[in-house]
Amino acid sequence: MGNLLRLAPKAGWMPIIIISMMSCERHTLTGHSGKVLAAKFLGASFLVTGSHDRTLKIWDLKNRSCTETKFAGSSCNDLVTTDSFSIISGHFDKKIRFWDTRTADCTANDIPLQGKITSLDLSKDGKFLLCCVRDDTINLLDLRQNKIVRTFRHDLYKVGCDWARVSFNPTCQRIAAGAADGSVYIWNVNGPLETVLKDPNGSGAAVTAVSWHPFSSVLASVDRAKKCTIWSNA
């Protein structure tokens, strides 16, 4: 079994807590000076985190220390890793940045978008990147060409916050995104909107994150009213 990762923001002190599922041992990594919005495992022994202090940090989990700080120049709202060396990050300054841990700076092929980037999700085959943007669109990027191949939008769909998360389903044929009015929008990856989910007894608070069950069509969403909703056969 692997590890669980938990971000625990606190004013002036940004710890990342690692909990081993085998021993329940807890490690706390400190070093960021701003909110930590994203963290992903980078291979088996390393972790990368993105923060509002405008840096990405790479951590050695064995030594429990920061091995490298990458200066992005803009707050990082989310990131994904494609292998043990490659990182893709989304930023407040409307850019997607590409990083290689074997070099000091980001690569030259940044992708500018039309709004602040709130979320990234990578397809299972590593070929496509889903990107939620504050201009109320969701963009699908082909990483082999580094260009947008499809944009998802709807007249009533509004992104609810600067860290709103989107997600591919397990087959990467559908995508889900929460909206400012408490709804969850589901599109077919080929373009058309399939359905809009809304709890008739809900508070109407903005949905901030969605996540699919890894082996089924069950979907979970959370909102700013601190409510988690499970949607069966979404």
Other residues' Cβ atoms within 10 Å of the Cβ of residue 100:
13
pLDDT the model gives residue 1:
41
Query: In this model, does residue 232 exceed pLDDT 60?
Result: yes
Amino acid 204 reads: G
pLDDT at 88 over 60: yes
Q: Are 128 and 142 in contact (CB under 8 A)?
A: yes
Residue 136: how many CB atoms within 10 A of its CB? 17
How far apart are the C-alpha atoms of 44 and 79, rounded to whole Å? 17
| Residue 10: pLDDT over 70 | no
pTM of the model: 0.88
Question: Is 60 exceeded by the pLDDT of residue 39?
Answer: yes
Residue 139 has pLDDT above 90, yes or no: yes
> b/e for 182-194, b at 16 or more Cβ within 10 A?
bbbbbbebeeeee
Q: Give me the pLDDT at residue 16, please.
A: 66
43 or 134, greater pLDDT: 134
Q: What is the mean pLDDT of residues 2-21?
A: 53
Distance CA 71, CA 97 (A): 11
Q: Which of 222, 218, 213 is nearest to 232 (CA)?
A: 218
pLDDT tens, 52-80?
A: 999 999 999 999 999 999 999 999 999 99
- The pLDDT of residue 12 is 42
Section 25-30 average pLDDT: 79
Please report, rounded to a whole number, the percentage of residues in the chain having pLDDT higher than 90: 78
What does the alpha-carbon distance between residue 116 and residue 5 come to, in Å, rounded to a whole number?
A: 25
Listed range (31-35, 106-110, 117-121) with the worst mean pLDDT: 106-110
What number is the average pLDDT over the span 44-53? Answer: 95
d(CA 164, CA 209): 6
- Residue type (1 letter), 12: G
What number is the average pLDDT over the span 158-181?
A: 97
Chain centre distance of CA 147:
19
Contact 29, 47 (CB under 8 A): yes
pLDDT in tens, 183-217: 999 999 998 999 999 988 888 999 999 999 999 99
> pLDDT-based confidence at 108, cuts 50/70/90?
low
Domains contained in the chain, CATH given = 1-112 (2.130.10.10)
DSSP string, 163-205: T--EEE-TTSSEEEEE-TTS-EEEEETTS-EEEEE--TTS--P
Give 17's pLDDT tier (boundaries 50, 70, 90).
low
Residue 201: the pLDDT is 85
Average pLDDT in the 91-118 region? 90
Q: Is the pLDDT of residue 99 over 70?
A: yes
Q: Are 37 and 52 in contact (CB under 8 A)?
A: yes
Instruction: Evaluate whether 99 touches 87 at the Cβ level (below 8 Å).
Output: yes
